[in-house]
Each structure stands twice: as C-alpha cells, then as structure tokens.
Amino acid sequence: MKSFMVQGTKILATGSAIPSSSLNNDQMSKIVQTSDDWIFSRTGIKERRLLTGYNQSVTNLATMASQKALDKISMDPSEIDLIILATSSPNDLFGSASQIQSQIGAVNAVAFDLTAACSGFVLGLVTASQFLSSGSYRKILVIGADVLSKWIDWSDRSTCILFGDGAGAVILESCPIKDNSILNFQLNTDGNYSDHLSIAYQDEISPHPILNLHQGCFKYVSMNGKEVYKFAVSQVPLSISRCLSSINMSVHDIDWLLLHQANERILKAVAEKLSISSNKIIANLSKYGNTSAASIPLALDEAIQENRISNDDIIVIAGFGAGLTWGTIIMRWKSI
Ligand code: UT7
C-alpha cells in the first residue's frame, strides 16, 4: 500500500455499452482474405461489435456506459467531481470528455481525456485514485472507450480482424483506508518502440505556399503484431510480479486475472508464465475482439453482472499497448 495514501478508493458501480452491429469472422472473410479458422486459432476472436451509423462516435458509447453505471446506484450525476475519459479515438482532438459531462448532466464535474491506447483505463483508474487518496475529489467517473473501427484500414487483414468498438465505466468514491480497493499499481512506458503500434499523424509533403507550414492528417492503425505480442508476453508478467511482490503478495493470492483483451493467446501465455490457472482468466474477446481502452472495464462489468467475482477477491488488472505503455493494478474487490 502506498505510504502517502490518506484516503482509499472504492468502486461504487460499473457499466458498459457495445454497439448493436456485429461482424463475425465469416463476414470478415468477405471483406479481406482471411478465415474464421485463422482468426479464431490465432486470436480467440469470433466476432466484434462496430459502431455504425452517421455521426455516431465514442461519446455515444461512453455516455451509455456511464449512464448505466449511474443508474445502477441511482446516483445524481451532479455528485461527480471528475470525469476521466480514456480514449484514443475521440471525436474532437481538443477532448471528448466534456461532451459526456454535458450529456449525463454532471454539472459539477471537471472532465478531461487521457490518451494511452489499450493501457488507458489502467492509467485512468490510477490517476483517479490519486485524486481520491489526496482528498482532492470524492467521486470520480472513469471511462475506457474506443471506436478504433474508424481508424482501421479495412483492407489490412493483419489489423482489421483484431479490433472492435465498446465502452466501460466505473464510478469511484474515496473511502477510509481499511476499505481501499486499489492495493498497488505499477506503470511503465518505453517510447523507443512507439512505432510498433500507432495511429500516426503525417504531414503533407508540400508546405503552405507562404507560411512554409506542413499540414496533414492522421493515418490508420499501424501495428507490428509479432513485436507487440512478444512485448506483452515478456513485460506483463514482470509488471504483475513486481506489483505483487512490493506489497508482499504472490500469485497464489490472485483470484482473477483481468488483462487487456488483445489476444487469447497472450492471456494464456501470461497466465502460464505466472503459473496462474487458466480458469482464473477473465476473457470475453471472442465476442468483442480488442476494444482498446474499453476492454478491461467491459470485461469487469460483465464478470460482475455474471456474479463471478466475490467480496474480497483479489483481481490483478493489467493493460498494455501502444506507447509502448503497460501497467498493473492489484485490486481487492468489495461487493457493490
Ligand atoms: O492492444 C494491443 C494490440 N495488439 C496486439 O496485442 C497484437 C499482438 N499480436 C498478435 O495478436 C498477433 O501477432 C496477430 C494475431 C496480429 C498475428 O498473429 P501471428 O501469429 O503473429 O501471425 P503473423 O503476423 O506472423 O502472420 C502469419 C501468417 C502470414 O503469412 P505468411 O507470411 O506466413 O505466409 C500473414 O500474412 O498469417 C498471414 N496473415 C493472415 N492470414 C489470414 C496475417 N493476417 C491474416 C489474416 N488471415 N487475418
């Protein structure tokens, strides 16, 4: 437990939202040269949800997920002090969180976006817990939401088969240290490998004729799948081990392993490296694919709805992805 902590973090409610349109692997094989067999055996994905429809954006899904979390505890949105939206697919580069603040009626909340791709929700949760532990804020909404379908090259079979759209939200409240749920965290970034996974901005070659200014636009998701795979399987177990050992816990204490839902082979390889039984893995990517910042809160919300998680269970949460950035949170679940 962090020695500077004066207040703990408690999860009051979770919520999630997925688009209604789905695309299964057989349908995908009509768009690019692939097959259900290839996709399922290499990734564990069967289908994914896509946000279709004109003018639909990440804010629609994020708002829906947040509203569901609020409804579960009949919370007045004006009680929320802070909203953190973890997303890498905003509908406004100046930030989308303020739109959610307005749509849910969180009139007293300050709201900002946090960009850290598939690690975004972990970083959002840790950021929120710092505001709570310092006593700056009492109630915080953290959302992980992405619509990477808008940033995919739908002719690139090495990426388009992986991603799906979704959103997950948690409402946190400060609490006495004895009820604290976030026991420890560990965060890392290695920018030397940022080009392994990116949605890069590219300047046009020709500059403005007078200003010598280059303007451009963002490209599609570009990924070196093999390198990202190797990075995840080597670094995530190390991060989890360090995070556990620094609070004198071990893998034997873990009840649930909730990793970013990138690839079922990655989930199993990480569990195997840590000697964690595969029946402790929380996985839903067969239904949704990789939903980036949404994947962890979406899977958490589903596991809670299915009553899989019991009071005082230890959940190890780990996110990893573009940056490259990765991180672990050790959580003691308190029934809600
Ligand atoms: O949020 C973090 C995001 N990213 C990740 O976590 C990605 C991590 N990496 C992965 O999940 C895997 O690397 C992939 C699933 C992306 C790819 O699996 P792989 O086992 O590393 O396949 P590969 O890229 O080595 O490709 C093997 C073969 C290649 O053909 P050749 O060169 O062996 O003839 C590819 O051209 O599979 C081919 N291939 C496909 N075939 C059918 C690549 N994509 C496809 C496809 N369908 N969709």
- Tell me what percent of the residues of the chain surpass a pLDDT of 90: 97
226 & 203 share domain: yes
Helix or strand or coil: residue 287?
helix
Q: Whose CA is nearest to atom 9 of ligand 1?
A: 225
Residues 61, 56: Cα–Cα separation, whole Å:
9
- 118 catalytic? Reply is yes
160 & 210 share domain: no
Catalytic residue among 60, 196, 260, 263: 260
- Of 134, 160, 179, which one is at a domain's C-terminal end? 179
3 CA to centre of ligand 1 in angstroms: 44
Ligand 1 binding site (Cβ under 6 Å of any ligand atom):
34, 38-39, 42-43, 118, 157-158, 161, 197, 223, 225-226, 228-229, 232, 260, 262-263, 290, 321
156 & 187 share domain: no
Would 231 be classed as within a structural domain?
A: yes
Q: Whose CA is nearest to atom 13 of ligand 1?
A: 225
pTM of the model: 0.95
What was the pLDDT predicted at 336?
A: 76
What was the pLDDT predicted at 1?
A: 43
Give how many domains the chain has, as a whole number.
Answer: 2
Catalytic residue among 25, 118, 160, 243: 118
158 CA to centre of ligand 1 in angstroms: 5
276: left (phi over 0), alpha (psi -120 to 50) or beta: beta
Full residue range of the structural domain in which residue 191 is found: 182-332
57 & 161 share domain: yes
189 & 250 share domain: yes
Residues 241, 12: Cα–Cα separation, whole Å:
28
- Of 117, 151, 179, which one is at a domain's C-terminal end? 179
Would 3 be classed as within a structural domain?
A: no
- The stretches in the chain having pLDDT less than 70 are 1-5
What was the pLDDT predicted at 166?
A: 98
Q: Per-residue pLDDT tens for 72-82?
A: 999 999 999 99
Q: Whose CA is nearest to atom 10 of ligand 1?
A: 225
- 290 catalytic? Reply is yes
